[in-house]
Amino acid sequence: MACSGRSQNEDSSRRLAEMMGPGGQFCSAPRLSSSSASVYLRWQISHRSRLSSRMPALSDPRPSNRAERPRREIEVRKLSGRPPVRSTKRSGRPPARTTPSRYGGSPVPAQNTHGERLQRTLARAGLGSRRAVEDLIRQGRVRVGGEVASLGRRVDPWTDHITVDDIPIPVHPDLRYLALNKPAGVTTTARDPHAERTVAMLIPPGPRVFPVGRLDRPSEGLLLRTNDGDLAHRLQHPRFGVDREYLVEVKGIVPKRAVSQLLKGVDLADGPARALKARPTGRSRGRTSLAMVMREGRKREIRRMLGALGFPVLRLVRVRIGPVRLGSLPPGRTRTLTAQEVSELYRESRLSRARPGGRGTDSDSPSHS
């Protein structure tokens, strides 16, 4: 009940002051009578009307000028008491979009978010460590699709064409390149029901690979196996000029004129055959050792050439195919070709792209040498 001598307005002001704290803020909900509640409600309506008169309408359309939009939005949020919007862009990482920035400025360059980083792909292909591969990229020696690659570029190993010093690098994850030291008595073909041992028994598990060329059962030495059909075809075709080197031991002493005949050509039933290089490496106990380099791969070609000259072959070992050498690989063991060896095979066969499958070879083709 209002005190005597005071007007109703003065009494309302006193009750309002009681409900507000020392900072001009309302305290936690007080117990109000019906008359006090009506005064409090009228004060709230008048206070909000004064605040809304100073605020721009939140439903106004956005300004046409993008540069003014941040200032307008910040002002609205300050007046309404809402916290400012924080940027979600991480420092040091460019946004992956091609449209202009939301608040103006130059367009952001597109970032390829698919595939894997180029240095990781090349390191996995065997070109060296990540740091060594990054040095190759910085030097401008790596190209992707004919364009000089930059550090951090992303590539698709299944489709992209990658070269280092203009030499193709096979990076397809499904490609396999194996070197096998075939022992004597092992059959090259995998489908011989009469063979006790085949090279398929010596291949480690994984994607299927097929032989590059053949070695007959008594012969031994280097045999390449891969699922890169185009490379396998070119390595076997004499038109692409990939050499094969053999060490041969024959019965008898081979004179110089017989070595010259091997270089000039020996007439065989399927046409003349000749060696690119032939030289004796030793003679002892009625036997002669020869080193021969051949380019063709006809069936039992070396054995028939030396047999036609009267020197039966006692042992034949293939020690090299192009840049790949047998080295110290034990008989019956396999190893994966290095990235440099595969690149050299591509260079010598003049092949520009690696892919699984392709032309390939028939597993029932005749044995060579």
Q: Which residues are catalytic?
A: 216
Tokens of 322: 């192009």
Tokens of 297: 């791969």
Strand, coil or helix: 229:
helix
How many residues are given for the chain? 369
Q: Can you say whether residue 187 is alpha, beta or left, with left for phi > 0 and alpha for psi between -120 and 50 degrees? A: beta
Query: Residue type for 2, please?
Result: A
For the stretch 60-83, what's the b/e string if a residue is b when 16 or more beta carbons lie within 10 angstroms of its beta carbon? eeeeeeeeeeeeebeeeeeeeeee
Q: Which of 281, 348, 355 is nearest to 321 (CA)?
A: 348
Are residues 304 and 292 in contact, defined by beta-carbon separation less than 8 angstroms? Answer: no
Q: Which of 187, 218, 231, 215 is nearest to 326 (CA)?
A: 215
Residue 369: exposure state from Cβ atoms within 10 A (0-12, 13-18, ≥19): buried
User: Backbone phi, then psi, for 353, in 5-degree steps?
Assistant: -145, 145
Are residues 185 and 211 in contact, defined by beta-carbon separation less than 8 angstroms? Answer: no
Q: What distance in Å separates the CA atoms of residue 65 and residue 180, rounded to the nearest whole number?
A: 71
Residue 198: exposure state from Cβ atoms within 10 A (0-12, 13-18, ≥19): middle
